[in-house]
């Protein structure tokens, strides 16, 4: 048997065959029906719908043949697909092309008639063929019948292909629909005049609209003039987003970012518009601007606070070096230098302390169980004699739960408020320190209250009490860096606590610190 | 004729420092607040005012400077601003308020004396 030729264009034919996804699939009634019909119509023992693969023949349907494939080189069909009409071998033994072919041997066939089956693009991908073990004649009427059967097989293949295309299409539609339905960015489709044709749920939600409630509205009224200006067929979708003001249906507005992609759909000018609500980004930017401003102000104030004692130190030491003063004046100037140097050292220490606490955050804390009574005692004994002329009265509740705190830091915070109570009240006056445990916001909290009968604060002073370098007692010449309360607040907040301050000018100040009790002690 | 210098400074130590730095240049009068400063500018008719920019309690020496320069009776008085704020923008704000000179804290008493003497020479 001669090897079947590989026709020109076979690579394309094979690609078409593979893309039809018919090879190696299960038998199907729509093809079996054709081979059954062929067996009956022609009275032959064998009929096939065969597909000619790269190096084999594979049978989509076979009647009377017990195997599903055979090598392409040994096949009648490989020859049949080379021509348009049916190929008829009335007696293979008398045909030099097939006399010794193994297929002929395997099927025992001497008669073959096969007509090519065309894919939708016309590629001949296989045949409908009939075989018999005895030689036969095959007239024109029979050739026409076989041609009809091959055309039916071709129609079945085309119909299957249509069904598959339709399924692919609805799958891609479902995908697109799901995408538009669920992406958090708003998507609008506008016509050439800027009227909304379609809107996805995200954009409807953004504008406070019901489903379908944006259709027919003008983009100009929803997105503002600046965004409307982007509706230009020449607009580049790569342009940076346009900031604008979105107008909700209830009249309220919100900041938006808009991108526009002009497009031609079914020969109509359309615009796809992506709308993003940037309220949150705006808030973040505003907050970071405020933080930046606070930092800048803090830096200016810190510089001022550091330069002021430096002015005394530099100035008076220069005077002492260059001029002659009487011993009393010299001593007075040295005393100022010493005092201002101490102030400078305290300032620097406090500034570093605050920076360390701020930078360390909660991770900088060593949290443990802190006994509140012991904490108060240690705070008082750590004052180095400050307050020894005040009457300090303790009212520590028995059986208080321990607090979850960094012992050293919380003592530092408490020291700051106790020393303020002492500094801002006159000697001999009473300072009350009391404690209590209370449920607050469904959490067990321990309160420590420090109340003095000192000069107190005005509402204006109270409002600024936590500002860095702010000193309510500025005019009263009370010593301090102005950072004590800032450090205090920072420490308390890191512990998840909070502070209440009551103050009246002339009658005193009471600071109450609330700190979370150690869990499992409630 | 002896010159009169008004020192407006809220901090006791610095008021003393400026007084000691300038006392060889003439009679030194002291004020510790904006109101007292303005009052003494009118009463004492000084040739030179050294003015702290941060007077405490939210008062600004720049306001005092503007008031001095806005009043026809006092606008000829030389104003030397003293400030712990030494950025270019601070100096510009001071000069825009009408100051004749700007000295940044900390300062050398000798340089301050020289700057004051130069201003008095043109007063």
**pLDDT tens digits along B95-115:** 999 999 999 999 999 999 999
- Residue B47: CB partners within 8 Å, gap ≥ 6? B3, B4, B5, B26, B77, B78, B120, B123
Name the CA radius of gyration of chain B, rounded: 13
Shortest alpha-carbon distance between residue A350 and chain B (Å): 20
Instruction: Read off φ and ψ for residue A460, nearest 5 degrees.
Output: -65, -40
Question: What pLDDT does residue A473 have?
Answer: 56
| Chain B residues within 8 A of A475 when measuring between CB atoms | 56-57
CATH code of residue A198: 3.30.450.20
Residue of chain B minimizing CA distance to A332: B13
Interface test with B, best of A296, A300, A301, A315 (most B CBs within 10 A): A315
Shortest alpha-carbon distance between residue A209 and chain B (Å): 51
Q: Which of A307, A319, A336 sits opposite B105 (nearest CB)?
A: A307
| Chain A residues within 8 A of B111 when measuring between CB atoms | none
Number of separate domains in chain A? 4
For A284-296, what is each residue's pLDDT tens digit? 999 999 989 888 8
Same domain, yes or no: A62 and A122: yes
Q: Are A64 and A39 in contact (CB under 8 A)?
A: yes
Shortest alpha-carbon distance between residue A314 and chain B (Å): 7
Band (A213; pLDDT cuts 50, 70, 90): confident
Same domain, yes or no: A371 and A505: yes
Q: Across all residues in chain A, what is the average pLDDT? A: 88
Host domain of residue A309: 286-359
Place of tokens 């526009």: A260
Question: What pLDDT does residue A305 have?
Answer: 86
In a domain, A88, yes or no: yes
Q: Are A249 and A213 in contact (CB under 8 A)?
A: yes
Band (A4; pLDDT cuts 50, 70, 90): low
Same domain, yes or no: A351 and A487: no
Interface test with A, best of B7, B12, B13 (most A CBs within 10 A): B13
Alpha carbons A295 and A288: distance in angstroms, whole number: 10
**CA distances (Å), origin A435, targets A303, A398, A505:** 39, 9, 24
For A145-161, what is each residue's pLDDT tens digit? 999 999 999 999 999 99
A27: left (phi over 0), alpha (psi -120 to 50) or beta: beta
Band (A35; pLDDT cuts 50, 70, 90): very high
Interface test with A, best of B12, B32, B84, B114 (most A CBs within 10 A): B84
- The CB-based long-range contact list for A9-17 (8 Å cut-off, 24+ gap) reads A9/A123, A12/A123, A13/A123, A13/A124, A13/A125, A14/A53, A14/A54, A16/A119, A16/A121, A16/A123, A16/A125, A17/A51, A17/A52, A17/A53, A17/A119, A17/A123, A17/A125, A17/A126
Question: What pLDDT does residue A172 have?
Answer: 85
Instruction: Read off φ and ψ for residue A517, nearest 5 degrees.
Output: -70, 155
For A412-439, what is each residue's pLDDT tens digit? 999 999 998 998 888 889 999 999 988 8
Instruction: Look at residue A476 and tell me whether its pLDDT is greater than 60.
Output: no
Q: Across all residues in chain B, what is the average pLDDT? A: 92
**CA distances (Å), origin A109, targets A91, A95, A324:** 9, 12, 136
B17/A308 touch (CB, cutoff 8 Å), yes or no = no
Average pLDDT over residues A31-55: 94
Higher-pLDDT residue of A105 and A24 is A24
Shortest alpha-carbon distance between residue A300 and chain B (Å): 7
List residues of chain B with CB under 8 Å from any CB of chain A: 11, 13-14, 16-17, 20-21, 54, 56-57, 84-86, 104-110
Higher-pLDDT residue of A313 and A243 is A313
Specify the CATH superfamily of domain B4-122: Response regulator (3.40.50.2300)
**CA distances (Å), origin A418, targets A230, A516, B33:** 63, 20, 31
Angle at which helices A279-322 and A327-360 cross, to 10°? 160
A479 interfacial to chain B (CB closer than 8 Å): no
Same domain, yes or no: A249 and A315: no
Max CA pair span of chain B: 37
Same domain, yes or no: A375 and A344: no
In a domain, A269, yes or no: yes
Q: Are A418 and A431 in contact (CB under 8 A)?
A: yes
CATH code of residue A135: 3.30.450.40
Instruction: Look at residue B67 and tell me whether its pLDDT is greater than 90.
Output: yes
Instruction: Look at residue A104 and tell me whether its pLDDT is greater than 60.
Output: no
Band (A176; pLDDT cuts 50, 70, 90): confident
Alpha carbons A76 and A87: distance in angstroms, whole number: 9
Instruction: Read off φ and ψ for residue A256, nearest 5 degrees.
Output: -130, 160
Structure-token pair, residue A98: 């097939």
Same domain, yes or no: A371 and A512: yes
Same domain, yes or no: A387 and A479: yes
A475 interfacial to chain B (CB closer than 8 Å): yes
A315/B11 touch (CB, cutoff 8 Å), yes or no = no
Element (H, E) at A499: strand A498-504
Shortest alpha-carbon distance between residue B71 and chain A (Å): 29
| Chain A residues within 8 A of B57 when measuring between CB atoms | 474-475
For A71-88, what is each residue's pLDDT tens digit? 887 788 988 999 989 999
Same domain, yes or no: A297 and A272: no
pTM for this prediction: 0.57
Same domain, yes or no: A189 and A243: yes
Q: What is chain B's length?
A: 123
| Chain A residues within 8 A of B54 when measuring between CB atoms | 304
What are the beta bridge partners of residue A179?
A: none
Number of A to B CB contacts under 8 A, please give it. 58
Shortest alpha-carbon distance between residue A308 and chain B (Å): 6
The domain locations on chain B are: 4-122
Task: Mark which of A359, A377, A407 sits at the end of a domain.
Answer: A359
Q: Characterize A276-308 residue by residue with b for buried, 16 or more Cβ atoms within 10 angstroms of its Cβ, and e for exposed.
A: bbbeeeeeeeeeeeeeeeeeeebeebbebbbbb
Alpha carbons A323 and A482: distance in angstroms, whole number: 34
| Chain B residues within 8 A of A316 when measuring between CB atoms | 13, 17
Q: Are A85 and A98 in contact (CB under 8 A)?
A: no
Band (A142; pLDDT cuts 50, 70, 90): very high
Task: Mark which of A165, A198, A222 sits at the end of a domain.
Answer: A165
Residue of chain A minimizing CA distance to B18: A315
Instruction: Look at residue A365 and tell me whether its pLDDT is greater than 90.
Output: no
For A510-521, what is each residue's pLDDT tens digit? 999 999 998 765
In a domain, A4, yes or no: no
Question: What pLDDT does residue A206 have?
Answer: 93
B106/A307 touch (CB, cutoff 8 Å), yes or no = yes
Question: What pLDDT does residue A474 have?
Answer: 54
In a domain, A172, yes or no: no
Band (A119; pLDDT cuts 50, 70, 90): very high
Band (A475; pLDDT cuts 50, 70, 90): very low
B57/A475 touch (CB, cutoff 8 Å), yes or no = yes
CATH code of residue A348: 1.10.287.130
Question: How many CB atoms are closer than 10 A to CB B11?
Answer: 20
Higher-pLDDT residue of A284 and A1 is A284
For A238-282, what is each residue's pLDDT tens digit? 888 888 889 999 989 999 999 999 999 888 999 999 999 999 999
Higher-pLDDT residue of A2 and A92 is A92
Instruction: Look at residue B1 and tell me whether its pLDDT is greater than 60.
Output: no
B107/A311 touch (CB, cutoff 8 Å), yes or no = yes
E strand intervals along A205-294: 242-247, 253-265, 268-277
Average pLDDT over residues A381-397: 86
In a domain, A178, yes or no: no
Where helices occur in chain B by DSSP H, the ranges are 12-22, 34-44, 61-70, 88-96, 109-122
Band (A226; pLDDT cuts 50, 70, 90): confident
E strand intervals along A119-179: 124-132
Report the candidate in A13, A34, A48 with the shortest Cα–Cα distance to residue A156: A34
Residue B92 C-alpha from the chain's centroid: 16
For A89-103, what is each residue's pLDDT tens digit? 998 888 777 766 555
Task: Mark which of A359, A394, A410 sits at the end of a domain.
Answer: A359
A319/B54 touch (CB, cutoff 8 Å), yes or no = no
Alpha carbons A131 and A46: distance in angstroms, whole number: 5
Q: Which of A311, A312, A318 sits opposite B110 (nearest CB)?
A: A318
Same domain, yes or no: A355 and A369: no
Same domain, yes or no: A464 and A416: yes
Q: What is chain A's length?
A: 522
Average pLDDT over residues B11-30: 94
Report the candidate in A215, A295, A297, A276 with the shortest Cα–Cα distance to residue A249: A215
Residue of chain A minimizing CA distance to B20: A319
Same domain, yes or no: A74 and A101: yes
């Amino acid at each position: 048997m001669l090897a079947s030729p590989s026709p020109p264009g076979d690579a394309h034919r094979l690609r078409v065959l593979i893309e039809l996804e018919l090879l190696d699939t299960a038998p199907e009634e729509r093809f079996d029906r054709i081979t059954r019909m062929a067996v009956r119509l022609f009275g032959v023992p064998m009929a096939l719908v065969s597909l000619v693969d790269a190096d084999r023949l594979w049978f989509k349907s076979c009647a009377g043949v017990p195997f599903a494939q055979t090598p392409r080189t040994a096949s009648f069909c490989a020859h049949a697909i080379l021509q348009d009409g049916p190929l008829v071998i009335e007696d293979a033994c008398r045909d030099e092309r097939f006399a010794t072919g193994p297929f002929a041997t395997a099927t025992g066939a001497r008669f073959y008639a096969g007509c090519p089956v065309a894919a939708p693009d016309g590629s001949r991908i296989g045949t409908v063929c009939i075989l018999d073990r005895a030689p036969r004649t095959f007239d024109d009427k029979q050739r026409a019948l076989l041609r009809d059967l091959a055309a039916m097989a071709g129609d079945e293949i085309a119909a299957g292909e249509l069904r598959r295309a339709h399924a692919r299409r609805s799958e891609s539609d479902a995908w697109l629909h799901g995408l538009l339905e669920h992406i958090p960015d708003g998507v609008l489709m506008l016509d050439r005049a800027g009227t909304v044709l379609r809107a996805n749920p995200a954009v409807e939600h953004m504008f406070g609209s019901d489903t379908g409630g944006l259709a027919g509205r003008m983009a100009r009224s929803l997105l503002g003039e600046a965004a409307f200006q982007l509706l230009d067929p020449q607009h580049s979708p790569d342009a940076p987003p346009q900031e604008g003001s979105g107008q909700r249906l209830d009249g309220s507005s919100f900041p938006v970012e808009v991108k526009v992609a002009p497009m031609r759909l079914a020969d109509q000018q359309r615009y796809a518009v992506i709308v993003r609500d940037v309220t949150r980004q705006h808030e973040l930017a505003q907050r970071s601007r405020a933080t930046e401003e606070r930092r800048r102000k803090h830096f200016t104030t810190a510089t001022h606070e550091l330069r002021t004692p430096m002015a005394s130190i530099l100035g008076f030491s220069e005077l002492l070096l260059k001029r002659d003063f009487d011993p009393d004046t010299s001593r007075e100037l040295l005393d100022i230098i010493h005092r201002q140097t101490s102030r400078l050292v305290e300032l620097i220490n406090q500034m570093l302390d605050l920076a360390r606490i701020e930078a360390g955050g909660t991770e900088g804390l060593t949290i443990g169980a802190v006994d509140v009574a012991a904490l108060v005692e240690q705070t008082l004994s750590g004052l180095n004699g400050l307050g020894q002329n005040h009457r300090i009265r303790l009212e520590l509740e028995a059986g208080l739960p321990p607090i979850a705190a960094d012992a050293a830091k919380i003592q530092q915070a408490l020291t700051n408020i106790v020393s303020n109570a002492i500094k801002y009240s006159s000697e001999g006056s009473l300072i009350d320190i009391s404690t209590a445990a209370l449920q607050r916001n469904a959490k067990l909290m321990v309160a420590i209250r420090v109340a003095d009968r000192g000069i107190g604060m005005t509402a204006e002073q109270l409002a600024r009490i936590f500002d860095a370098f702010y000193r309510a007692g500025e005019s009263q010449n009370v010593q301090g860096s102005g950072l004590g309360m800032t450090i205090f607040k920072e420490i308390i907040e890191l512990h998840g606590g909070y502070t209440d301050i009551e103050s009246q000018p002339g009658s005193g100040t009471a600071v109450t610190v609330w700190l979370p009790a150690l869990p499992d002690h409630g | 004729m002896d010159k009169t210098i008004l020192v407006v400074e809220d901090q006791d130590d610095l008021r003393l420092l400026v007084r000691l730095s300038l006392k060889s240049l003439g009679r030194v009068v002291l004020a510790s607040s904006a109101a007292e400063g303005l009052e003494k500018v009118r009463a004492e008719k000084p040739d030179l005012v050294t003015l702290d920019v941060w007077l405490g309690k939210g008062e600004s020496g720049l306001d005092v400077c503007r008031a001095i320069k806005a009043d026809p009776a006092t606008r000829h008085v030389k104003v030397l601003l003293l400030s712990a704020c030494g950025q270019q923008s601070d100096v510009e704000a001071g000069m825009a308020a009408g100051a004749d000179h700007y000295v940044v804290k900390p300062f050398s008493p000798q340089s301050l004396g020289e700057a004051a003497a130069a201003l008095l020479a043109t007063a």
